[in-house]
Amino acid sequence: MSNDTVDPADNERQILERISYLETALENYGTQIRALNDVVSQIQVSVNSFSGQVNGASGQINELKNSVYQLTKNKNSSLHKVNGELSKFDQLVDYASYREQIKSNYGPIFAPIAEYEKLVSKIGSLKHLNPTPLSKLLPVNDGNKANISLRHDIDADPERAVELAGILAQYGIPGSFYVLHSAKYYGVFGDGKFHRNPRLKTWVQELMLSGMEVGVHNDAFGLNKQGKDGVKLFADEVEYLRSLGANITGSVAHNSFPTHFAENFEVFSEFVLFARESELKLGELSMKDLGLMYEGNYPVKRASISEGKLDDFISLDYAKNKLQWLKTYLHQNPVMEKKYEIDIWLYENDHWLVSDRRQGHNSFSTLKETNALIEYLSDIEGNCSIVVTVHPELYQR
Partner 1 sequence: MNSPFFIVGTEFSGSSLIASILNLSESINCHIEPTPKLHIETRDTMDGKSINIKELLKKTILERVTAFSQIGCRYGETQSTLGPFLLELYELTGCKFIYVHRDGRDVVKLGMDKNNLRSGRVYRECRFNKLVTDRAVLKASEVLQGCDSHDYSRPRPIAGEALFKSWRSLSREEMLAFYWARINQIHLDMLAELPRECWMSIDCTAPSVEEINSVFEFLDCNAIGASKIKSKLTNESVALKAPNNEAGEYPYWVSWNSKKRTNFMSIAEKEMSLLRYATNKRTQWRPLNFGEVCNETKNIEERYAWIYQGRINAHRGFLKWLQQKPEIESIADFGSGIGYGYRDEITDIEYTGYDISKRVCDIANTNRKSPLQNFICVDYIENELDRKYDLVYSSGTIDNCYDVEAYLAAMVNASSKWIYLSCYRGWFPELLEHQYTYSEDHGCFYNDLSPSLVQKSLEDLGCTETLAYKLKSSNEEIDFETVIVARVN
Q: Name the site residues for partner 1 (rule: CB under 8 A).
A: 44, 48, 52, 54-56, 58-59, 62-63, 65-66, 69-70, 125, 131-133, 162-163, 165-170, 172-175, 202, 205-206, 208-213, 245-247
- Of the two residues 146 and 165, which places its CB atom closer to partner 1 in the complex? 165
Rounded Cα distance between 346 and 86, Å, is 37
Neighbours of 208 (CB within 10 A): 17
CA distance 28 to 75: 67
Shortest separation between residue 347's beta carbon and partner 1, angstroms: 26
Which lies closer to partner 1 via its Cβ, residue 124 or residue 283?
A: 124
Question: Of the two residues 127 and 193, which places its CB atom closer to partner 1 in the complex?
Answer: 127
Nearest residue (CB) to partner 1, 177 versus 313: 177
Contact indicator for 207, 161 with CB cutoff of 8 Å = yes
Q: What is the DSSP string of 341-362?
A: SEEEEE-STT-EEEEE-STTT-
Q: Which helix (H) or strand (E) holds 34?
A: helix 8-78
Looking at the Cβ atoms of 6 and 54, the one nearer to partner 1 is: 54
Helices (H), 247-337: 257-260, 287-290, 307-315, 322-331
As measured in angstroms, the least distance from the Cβ of 340 to partner 1 is: 17
Instruction: Of 164, 196, 226, give the one whose Cα is nearest residue 395.
Output: 164
Which CB, 22 or 47, lies closer to partner 1? 47
Tell me the closest approach of the beta carbon of residue 71 to partner 1, in angstroms.
13
Q: Which residue's CB is nearer to partner 1, number 246 or number 335?
A: 246
Distance CA 156, CA 338 (A): 26
Report, in Å, the least distance between residue 237 CB and partner 1.
Answer: 17
Residues 182, 172: contact at Cβ < 8 Å?
Answer: no
Q: Are 382 and 146 in contact (CB under 8 A)?
A: yes
Least distance between partner 1 and beta carbon 167 (Å) = 7
Preceding peptide of 139 cis, ω within 30°: yes
CB of 132 to partner 1, least distance (A): 6
Q: How far is the CB of 210 from partner 1 (least distance, A)?
A: 5
Closer residue to partner 1 in complex, CB, 190/245: 245
CA dihedral sign of residues 9, 15, 18, 23: negative
| Closer of 91 and 247 to partner 1 (Cβ) | 247
Give me the phi and psi of 7, to 5 degrees please.
Answer: -70, 120
Taking the least distance from each CB to partner 1, the nearer of 92 and 244 is 244
State the Cα–Cα distance between residues 235 and 37, nearest whole angstrom: 88
Beta carbon of residue 218, minimum distance to partner 1 (angstroms, whole number): 21
Residue 229 is which amino acid?
Answer: D
Q: Facing residues of 345 across strands?
A: 353, 389
b (16+ CB within 10 A) / e for 377-391? beebeebbbbbbbbb
Q: How far is the CB of 250 from partner 1 (least distance, A)?
A: 13
69's enclosing H/E stretch is helix 8-78
Query: In this structure, are strands 81-82 and 85-86 parallel, antiparallel, or unpaired?
Result: antiparallel
Would strands 129-131 and 176-180 be described as parallel, antiparallel, or unpaired?
A: unpaired
Residue 110 identity (one-letter amino acid): F
Shortest Å, Cβ 150 to partner 1: 10
152 contacts 142 by C-beta, under 8 angstroms = no
Q: How far is the CB of 212 from partner 1 (least distance, A)?
A: 7
Q: Indicate the residue among 135 and 389 with the shorter CB distance to partner 1.
A: 135
